[in-house]
Amino acid sequence: MRAAMAAAQVGYDIFEEDPTVNELQRRAAELFGMEETLFVPSGTMANLISVMCHCPERGAELIVGDQAHIHLCEQGGVAQIAGIHSRVVKNLPDGTFDLNEVESKIRHSSGTHCPRTSVICLENTQNFTGGRVPPLSFLQEARALADRYGLPIHMDGARLMNAAIALDVKASEILRLCDSVSVCLNKGLGSPIGCLIGGRKEFINQAIRVRRVLGGLMRQAGVLAAAGLISLSDMVERLRDDHRNTRKFAQGVQAFSSSICDIDINAVETNIIMFPVNDPRISAKEFCDKMAEVTEEEVTAMGCGVQVLLHHMYDCKVRAVWHLDVSEEDTDLALWKLQYVIEKVNQK
């Protein structure tokens, strides 16, 4: 990938003269089954651009899940920058939400009291419910609901390719039910930077303008697009390895039958695990610290030291994510370290 970046042909992207960027956008549009795509620096910017294009007037409203990345982890940019109001619905454990609740919150009155609902935002895979994949049947029902009210659907598809692999369908099969999408090229696809927005030609034309005002135009961006091309050609099928290793870890934790942490194996669908640490002897944060810590006692007892980086979330939950740099052997070592930490806690 770095060799491809160094050798990339570049041009002036503001005039659509960068051949590598153009090829990335062409290939992505074909993969997504959409008219055009646009290369931008990040997923946060891609979501903001997309929502702004769907909500051209300040005071518009989007409907979004309460566990959505757009809602929780993007600094409320849709409000802070674009003047767009977010109305949340409760995400269910499988990453979906109750479409009856969505319908009850759609505001389409011509009166002056309320913001007008302008877009419904979905997330696939759903990050904070543990990489869950909303089923196609849910997307079809969401599409039908949106159509009844003349609303577009934007999908935060940061890990869309993980969803496609999990469902064993083409990405275009998912995206035919959406009006726009953002797909990250980093994360499981391995690029150092970059995200693609997909949609109709007129939507992408507007996105180009919004990208400029947000500072997302990158001039000779072919050095980055070259990495994206490898992500799309070589990294998608490799996601199966991440899913397999994630499930192996989950099965290993389940086999420990420990009261400290437990995993619902049926909730493990892609490359993310969210599990609770429910033990008065150790908090979720302390658990993460112990998994990352390498002590002399550990090295002496086990013959080596293993550092496992986990993320402490809210509600006593821990998040673990598999990617290109976590192998099956690494997964075995992570299980070994987990068993070691559990044994140390049980000695208290």
- Give the pLDDT confidence score for residue 63 in this predicted structure: 99
Cis preceding linkage at 125, omega within 30:
yes
The mean per-residue pLDDT over the stretch 289-310 comes to 93
What proportion of the chain, given as a percentage, has pLDDT over 90? 93
Taken in order of first residue, the domains within the chain and their CATH numbers are 1-233 (3.40.640.10), 238-347 (3.90.1150.10)
Number of Cβ within a 10 Å radius of residue 266: 8
How far is 31 from 177, CA to CA, in rounded Å?
A: 15
Q: Give residue-wise pLDDT tens across range 6-18.
A: 999 999 999 999 9
The DSSP secondary structure of 12-64, one letter per residue, reads -GGGT--HHHHHHHHHHHHHHT-SEEEEES-HHHHHHHHHHHH--STTEEEEE
The mean per-residue pLDDT over the stretch 39-47 comes to 99
pLDDT above 90: residue 111: no
How far is 38 from 96, CA to CA, in rounded Å?
A: 27
- Pick from 297, 296, 341: nearest CA to 318: 341
Q: Give residue-wise pLDDT tens across range 117-167.
A: 999 999 999 999 999 999 999 999 999 999 999 999 999 999 999 999 999
pLDDT above 90: residue 218: yes
- Give the pLDDT confidence score for residue 303 in this predicted structure: 86
What integer best gives the mean pLDDT of the chain?
A: 96
Q: Which residues does residue 1 pair with via DSSP β-bridges, in sequence order? A: none
Per the CB < 8 A criterion, the answer to whether 92 and 130 are in contact is no
pLDDT above 90: residue 301: no
- Give the pLDDT confidence score for residue 79 in this predicted structure: 97
The mean per-residue pLDDT over the stretch 220-240 comes to 98
Q: Which pTM was predicted?
A: 0.96
Q: Residue 87 — φ and ψ, nearest 5°? A: -115, 120
pLDDT above 90: residue 178: yes
